[in-house]
Amino acid sequence: MAHEPEGFFKKFHDAINSSIDDVTRNNFTNLETNSKRVSYLCGLPAIKNYDLTSELEKCQTGGEFPVKKDLEKALQLKDEGNKAVQKGNWAKALELYSHSMVYMPKKETEELSIVLANRSAALNHLEQYE
């Protein structure tokens, strides 16, 4: 398996995961919706005390971050998503559009808008409204 660079989310996840006990984990697992899960997590001291500021600054300034913005890659993924839609594979299209958004440079607002609209259409078709 190829070595993947460790991004801030993995560090964030590991820090949070190691700070919660079985009761907290069980409470989280029993929540019925994603919005309830997010609200629950946001109330945990480990989340409140975790400083993401420097990690977010790296994202905004193009610092050491595993995914560099790449218009060509973003457009390729968008096109692959469009082909998946034509084949009726909405779940694959959703995945490809989501990855396209990750690679899309911030300045490409029109292209990003199209990818967001395509992703929304895929979510709607899959009846994933939350």
- Rg of the Cα atoms in the chain: 18
Q: Where are the alpha helices (DSSP H) in the chain?
A: 8-19, 22-29, 34-42, 45-49, 53-61, 71-86, 90-103, 109-125
> What is the overall mean pLDDT for the chain?
84
- Yes or no: say if 122 and 97 are a contact pair by the CB < 8 Å rule: yes
**Which whole number is the average pLDDT over 12-40?**
88
Give the separation between CA 115 and CA 120, rounded to whole angstroms: 8
Closest CA to 8 of 81, 42, 72, 57: 57
Report pLDDT for 2.
Answer: 44
Q: Which pTM does this prediction carry?
A: 0.52
Report pLDDT for 59.
Answer: 61
